[in-house]
Amino acid sequence: MVNKKWSRRFFIGVCITPALLLLTLFMVVPTVQVFRMSLYSWGGFSNNQEFVGLNNFILLWDDMNFIRSFQNSIVLIVFVALATIIIALFFAYLLTNAKVKGSSFFRIIFYIPNILSIVVIAGIFSAIYDPESGLLNNVFGMFSLENLEQKWLGNQKIVIYSVAGALVWQAIGYYMVMYMSSMASVPKSYYEAASLEGAGKMRQFFSITLPLIWTNIRTTLTFYIISTINLSFLLVEAMTGGGPDGSTEVFLSYMYDQAYTNSTFGYGMAIGVVVFIFSFVLAAIVNRITKRDVLEY
C-alpha cells in the first residue's frame, strides 16, 4: 500500500514537473521581470541597473509619443471591435439563418485571413494600399472615383484607419465562426413563432438572436481588447514600423522600440506594465457595463 502511494506520487510528479518548470522559466519569470524592471533605470547593455521607484511612470506621463501611441491604440480597439462585431454578426446571421447555397464555401473563404501570418497580411495590405500600383486606388480608378484615391499608408490622418482595416479583414472570419456556433444553438421554433407574429428578419435578429447570444458577445469583447492590442503591434511592426512619423505607433510597438531597439529596458517595461494594467481595467469595465441577465432557453 505504501508502495502504491509512492508510485502514485512519483507518477504525478513526473507528469507535471516538466510543464511547471517550463511555465515558470519562460512565462512566470519574464512576467515578474517586466514588473521588476519597470522600477529600474536601465540603459541597456551597460548593465547599470539603478532603482528609481516609479520614476519611469512619471516620465511616461509627459512623453508625448507615449500619449500618441495610447490614443492610436484606443482608436484601433474601438474601431476594430465595433466594425468586426457588426460585420461578423451580420454574416454569421446570414449563414446560419438564411438558406444560403454554398454556405460552407463562404465559411471556409471567410476564415482564410485568420490562418495567414501577420507578416503575409502586412505584405498583402502593402500591395492593396500602395498609392500608384495598389489594388485599392486602381479599383477606384476603374470606377472613375479618383477623388477617393488616397496615400493609405502615407497620409498621417488616415493611416491608422488603414491599419484598422487590415485588422478587421483579419478578424471577421474568426469571430463569425464563433458567433455562428452560438447562433446555431438558438431553437428554430423561436424564429418560426416570431415569423408567424409578423416580425421581420431585422426584428428577429434584435429581439431573438442578439439577446440569446449576448453572453458569447460579451466574452468576445474581452478577446477584441486583448487581441487588438497584440495584433496591432505585430501588424504595425511589420507593415509601417510605427510610421509615418509615429502616426501608427501603438502601445506595444512603442514598448518594443523603447525596450529592444533603443535598449532602454526599464522605460520600455514601464510601458508594458501600463498596457497590461490598462487592458485588464478596460476588460473589467466593459464586462461590467455589458452585464445583462442571462436568458435561458
Residue pair 256/75 in contact (Cβ under 8 Å)? The answer is no
214 is an interface residue for another protein by CB under 8 A: no
Angle at 36 between CA 34 and CA 40, to 5 degrees: 105
The residues, ordered by sequence, that sit 6+ positions from 247 with a Cβ below 8 Å of its Cβ are 68, 72, 156, 159, 160
Shortest reach from residue 42's CB to another protein, in Å: 9
Calpha distance 36→51 (Å, rounded): 10
Residue 42 pairs in a beta bridge with 49
Residue 40 pairs in a beta bridge with 51
Residue 41 pairs in a beta bridge with 50
284 is an interface residue for another protein by CB under 8 A: no
Only one of the segments 3-11, 62-70, 152-160, 204-212 lies at the binding site for another protein (rule: CB under 8 A); that segment is 3-11
219 is an interface residue for another protein by CB under 8 A: yes
C-alpha cell at 177: 465562426
202 is an interface residue for another protein by CB under 8 A: no
Q: What is the largest CA-CA distance in the chain?
A: 85
What part of residues 20-59 is at the interface with another protein (CB under 8 A)?
20, 22-23, 25-27, 29-31, 33-34, 37
Site string for another protein, 223-252 (x = CB under 8 A): x--xx-xx--xx--xx-------------x
What part of residues 59-118 is at the interface with another protein (CB under 8 A)?
87, 90-91, 94-95, 98, 100, 106-113, 115-118
Shortest reach from residue 133's CB to another protein, in Å: 5
Entry field: residues in the chain: 297
Residue pair 233/252 in contact (Cβ under 8 Å)? The answer is yes
Give how far Cα 161 sits from Cα of 29, 54, 127, Å: 36, 34, 16
What part of residues 126-185 is at the interface with another protein (CB under 8 A)?
126-128, 133-135, 138, 142, 169, 172, 174, 177-178, 181
Only one of the segments 1-9, 68-76, 148-156, 188-196 lies at the binding site for another protein (rule: CB under 8 A); that segment is 1-9
Complex with another protein: residue 106 or 205, whichever CB lies closer? 106
Complex with another protein: residue 8 or 157, whichever CB lies closer? 8
Complex with another protein: residue 111 or 190, whichever CB lies closer? 111
How is residue 148 annotated by DSSP? G
Binders of another protein: how many residues, by CB under 8 A?
Answer: 83
Q: How many CB atoms lie within 10 A of CB 160?
A: 22
Calpha distance 175→143 (Å, rounded): 32
Give how far Cα 35 sits from Cα of 28, 152, 231, 265, 277, Å: 11, 37, 22, 11, 11
Complex with another protein: residue 206 or 260, whichever CB lies closer? 260
Complex with another protein: residue 51 or 105, whichever CB lies closer? 105
Shortest reach from residue 280's CB to another protein, in Å: 8
Site string for another protein, 253-282 (x = CB under 8 A): --xx--xx----x--xx--x--xx------
